[in-house]
Structure 1
Amino acid sequence: MVVLKIGGNVLNNPATLHEALDYFAGQVEPAVLVHGGGRRADEVLRSMNQQPRMIEGRRITDHATLDVVTMVYAGSINKHIVGQLQARGTNAIGLSGADGNAILATKRPVGKIDYGFAGDVVAVNAPLLDALLRLGLRPVLCPITHDRHGQLLNTNADTIANETARALAEAGHTVRLDYCFEFPGVMRDVNDPESVIDRLDPGKYAEYREDGVISGGMIPKLDNAFSAIAAGVDSVVIGSIQALRSGDGTRLRAS
């Protein structure tokens, strides 16, 4: 199985998004798509005179922000992607975490930072996803989860992709997890496309993070990716859609 995660910059560029959806639609294996949409959510928040708040790549979600991200992620972006996939002959079905109890989460406890209505995944409904895939449907998951008590929660899309890949792997599937974003891979210098790190293991990641080579939003992405590898996901590749299609990008390994 393939789990493909596409991020905000891919979603904001129509040509790149179309290429990513072509890539997804062209997968021979059963496939699940996970999308974010933070850039679009930021635009909507600013249009409402609200300032997005982020700490180490993670969003602070208050009541107003939760309303906006639910509208953007589970509404306009999710249904746009589903419609585009249907146009490609791919029978997609859009889901939030509340739909079919697809993704159960719990509100993140308040520690040094109060993330508001941020959700930490408790369980992914692998039997549901498996059943949909067996029916020939391709799930499109947005990063809105629920706590089974009526509260919707905003969950990092990379985490959704990681937990989905892990759940399918634990259900006995061989799973490849692709993280698609705007860069050719994880780079030593964000201004130099030639500085892609083609292989990365946990020790080297810790070293790069300590030195500040890897920082910001790349940290939760790689944390999630290495968590997936440790949990039995067969392979994880990070890169642009062009890199993924050509077999390039940054490939993660356990050691």
Structure 2
Amino acid sequence: MKTSIVKIGGNLIEDENSLDTLLKNFSKIEGLKVLVHGGGKKATQMSAKLGIETHMVDGRRITDKDTLNVITMVYGGLVNKTIVAKLQALDCNAVGLSGADLNSIKSMKRPVKTYDFGFVGDVTEVNSKMFSLLLNNGISPVCCAITHDGNGQLFNTNADTIASEIAIALSNNFETELYYCFEKKGVLRSIDDKDSVITDINSKSYLELLEQNIIADGMLPKLHNCFNAVKNNVSKVFVGNIDMIANPDQLKTTITL
């Protein structure tokens, strides 16, 4: 059975109208579905209100103990439960999860190389049996970007990676499709031209785009996760805006081998 894994970006979470539209589209997806979200901007705003300084390196958050507490409150509480409540209002029966809930996603602390990112985890295991149990009973998991190590420690974890790893884990039992939804129509050839969508990217063209520096910065880890998914049995991977999950003909970027 087809299973759609949809990851939503932070800018969509910030824009209530866009979030509401996306959730309406998500609720109408035929087949089984999983939603994955972060909430970095809201976490940064909450940290500022609490007098906790935010430190970033190459666009990635350094997660000390205080920051982890804020992330847990914002991701696992405010953002996650707001999304679940909105989905229930749309007759989409959803359950909010961190990686610790139902032992759904385990991780290990990211090894220290150039920087120590603190309480940041890299995914080591997805509990596909648990996800399958929920999905087969008509429940849509809503996963926030928090995992655990099985020994009581929570970790901040990249939401794009979580979405990719869930799609890969479920591909053994379902036909999985992965959607990365953000505010743009897809991967852009020119950041200044919102309509310059690169409609298809494969392994060869990806290397060419890297050499031309067309793909850079925050798009690099996203596309790394895209290719990791298609290399590991995920049937389809798309990058685009909120309309692509409601309209198959919507302009978007399709990732293939």
Alignment-derived partner of residue 142 in structure 2: 140
Report percent identity of matched pairs: 45
Q: For the Cα contact (< 8 Å) 1:58–1:217, is it kept in 2? A: no
Cα drift, residue 191 of structure 1 = 1.7
Residues 1:109 and 2:111 are matched in the alignment: yes
Alignment-derived partner of residue 174 in structure 1: 175
CA gap 1:17/1:152 in 2 versus in 1, 3 angstroms:
same
Q: For the Cα contact (< 8 Å) 2:9–2:38, is it kept in 1? A: yes
Cα drift, residue 62 of structure 1 = 1.1
TM-score, L = length of structure 2: 0.95
Q: For the Cα contact (< 8 Å) 1:82–1:94, is it kept in 2? A: yes
Alignment-derived partner of residue 92 in structure 2: 90
Cα drift, residue 55 of structure 1 = 2.7
Alignment-derived partner of residue 5 in structure 2: 3
Alignment-derived partner of residue 56 in structure 1: 58
Q: For the Cα contact (< 8 Å) 1:57–1:218, is it kept in 2? A: no
Runs (5+) with no aligned partner, structure 1: none
Residues 1:253 and 2:256 are matched in the alignment: yes
Distance 1:53 1:213 in 2: 27
The partner residue of 1:43 within 42, 45, 48 is: 45
Alignment-derived partner of residue 29 in structure 2: 27
SS of residue in 2 equivalent to 1:175: strand
Q: For the Cα contact (< 8 Å) 1:42–1:52, is it kept in 2? A: yes
Alignment-derived partner of residue 164 in structure 1: 166
Q: For the Cα contact (< 8 Å) 2:121–2:155, is it kept in 1? A: yes
Cα drift, residue 203 of structure 1 = 2.5
SS of residue in 2 equivalent to 1:132: helix
Q: Which amino acid aligns with 2:166?
A: T
Alignment-derived partner of residue 14 in structure 2: 12
Distance 1:244 1:167 in 2: 21
TM-score, L = length of structure 1: 0.96
Alignment-derived partner of residue 154 in structure 1: 156
Residues 1:225 and 2:226 are matched in the alignment: yes
SS of residue in 2 equivalent to 1:194: coil
Distance 1:104 1:30 in 2: 23
Distance 1:44 1:212 in 2: 34
Q: Which digits, 9 at most, give the CA deviation of each residue in 1:63-122, with x for residues without a partner? A: 111111111000100000000000001110000000000001000111112111110001
Q: Which amino acid aligns with 1:249?
A: K
